[in-house]
Amino acid sequence: MTCYKNPGKESYGFFENFSFYNDHAVNAESKNSVVIKDIPEFPEEYICTEYGDKSCYYFLINSVFPSIENPHIICEKFKYIYNLLSNNKRGRKKEGTLKNNDWAFLNYWLNDKLRSTNTDMSICVKDFYEKLRDMDEDYFKIASTDDKLFNMKKHDFENMKKLFELYNIKNKVSETMVEGIPEEKSALCSVYTKEFNKKYRDAIINCRDGCSIFFNILTDFKNKYREEFSFYSKTSISCNSEELFVLPNYQAVLKEHESIKIIGKTTFSVLLPVFGVFFMLIFSDTLIPFSHQFLEKIKRTKHKLFGSGERGNELLSYTSDNDDIIENHEAYGISYYSVGDY
């Protein structure tokens, strides 16, 4: 599909103000129904004041995107976030506009919601937004350019989602290091840092294609993580060591992972023949009766081919010798397992 694009560094821009955008996303999750009339006791940003075709109800009564589950709810949540971002006047931002980081967050959010039930993204993110504008251009006044809203390939989206999870855990760590909090809550710091370190390593190891930008973003994040928490470690009860917040660089993580893989393969190649011999010894007693049957068949065939002559005696002597060897082996096997059972 032509609506796919490789995310650049600007696509990660909203992480610079993660808490601001994440709070909007969390609050939007409470929107789980469509409102088609004014409700005075609720703030305007919580409701859709339009009727029929000019509300998210449009997606409920029309099969516009059949492959998307509950598009009317996604519409309602997106409308809430869009309203807060476009009308926010933080910094020098003008009301009724969206900054690059706003677009970057909206693009990530739509990629997340529209692929939740369809990992292959059967529709274009931009087409969904354009349908919202067709539904109510007075509300969605801001036109999207081609490079603002686009579909991310699965591995690119997964990278960004893992970074999103890391920021969420980082916030949990931060909450446990506030001075004066109860000891039981402060004790969770070590739990969250272990979880954080594991997810950080997993994000690096599981990266697929286009990892250079992602690894650069992680490197910046790693440095900020250490700088932010190293100071607070002096006052923390359970995270009072700066080493807890020192993360390895991605090269070290990848090298360690490759070393573990090599050791695993080497161990397997060594143990495989050992287990083969082990199982052969275990089942050797089972194979001995078949050996007896085979030798008896040789004896019967001997009489047919050679009669009772000297060559028959030689063959009989040969088979008897082998029979003795097998019986001796059987006796050895019985003795061996008797010791083992003891």
pLDDT at 316: 40
pLDDT at 44: 47
Q: Could you tell me if 168 and 82 lie in one domain? A: no
Within a domain: 2: no
pLDDT at 293: 63
**What are residue 4's DSSP bridge partners?**
151
10 Å Cβ neighbour count for 117?
11
Number of domains in the chain: 4
Domain boundary among 104, 127, 152: 152
Within a domain: 61: yes
pLDDT band at residue 327, thresholds of 50, 70 and 90? Answer: very low
Kindly state the percentage of the chain with pLDDT values over 90.
Answer: 46
Q: Could you tell me if 166 and 241 lie in one domain? A: yes
CA distance 222 to 338: 60
Within a domain: 304: yes
pLDDT at 284: 54
Answer yes or no: are the C-beta atoms of 152 and 189 closer than 8 Å.
Answer: no
Residues 169, 170, 173, 179, Cα dihedral to 10°: -150
CA distance 328 to 27: 80
Question: How does the average pLDDT of the chain come out, rounded?
Answer: 79
Within a domain: 104: yes
Which residues touch 335 (CB under 8 Å, ≥6 apart)? none
Domain boundary among 103, 135, 152: 152
Answer yes or no: are the C-beta atoms of 236 and 189 closer than 8 Å.
Answer: yes
Residues 107-156: pLDDT tens digits? 999 999 998 655 667 899 999 999 999 999 889 999 987 689 999 999 99
Q: Could you tell me if 217 and 95 lie in one domain? A: no
Within a domain: 3: no
pTM of the model: 0.71
Within a domain: 1: no
What is the domain range of residue 165?
156-247
CA distance 31 to 74: 9
Q: Could you tell me if 54 and 127 lie in one domain? A: yes
Q: Could you tell me if 242 and 192 lie in one domain? A: yes
Within a domain: 4: no
Within a domain: 210: yes
Q: Could you tell me if 257 and 316 lie in one domain? A: no
Residues 251-281: pLDDT tens digits? 999 999 888 766 655 555 555 565 555 556 5
Nearest 5°: the CA angle 179, 180, 184 is: 105
CA atoms within 13 A on the CB side of 297: 6
Q: Could you tell me if 95 and 213 lie in one domain? A: no
Q: Could you tell me if 32 and 132 lie in one domain? A: yes
Q: Computed over its alpha carbons, how large is the radius of gyration of the chain?
A: 35
Nearest CA to 111 out of 122, 121, 101 is that of 121
**Residue predicted with more confidence, 195 or 67:** 195
Residues 278-316: pLDDT tens digits? 556 555 555 555 555 655 665 665 565 555 444 444 444
Q: Is the pLDDT of residue 333 over 70?
A: no
Q: Could you tell me if 49 and 94 lie in one domain? A: yes
Q: Could you tell me if 214 and 258 lie in one domain? A: no
Q: Could you tell me if 13 and 125 lie in one domain? A: yes
Domain boundary among 152, 186, 217: 152
Residues 87-103: pLDDT tens digits? 998 877 888 899 999 99
Q: Could you tell me if 207 and 80 lie in one domain? A: no
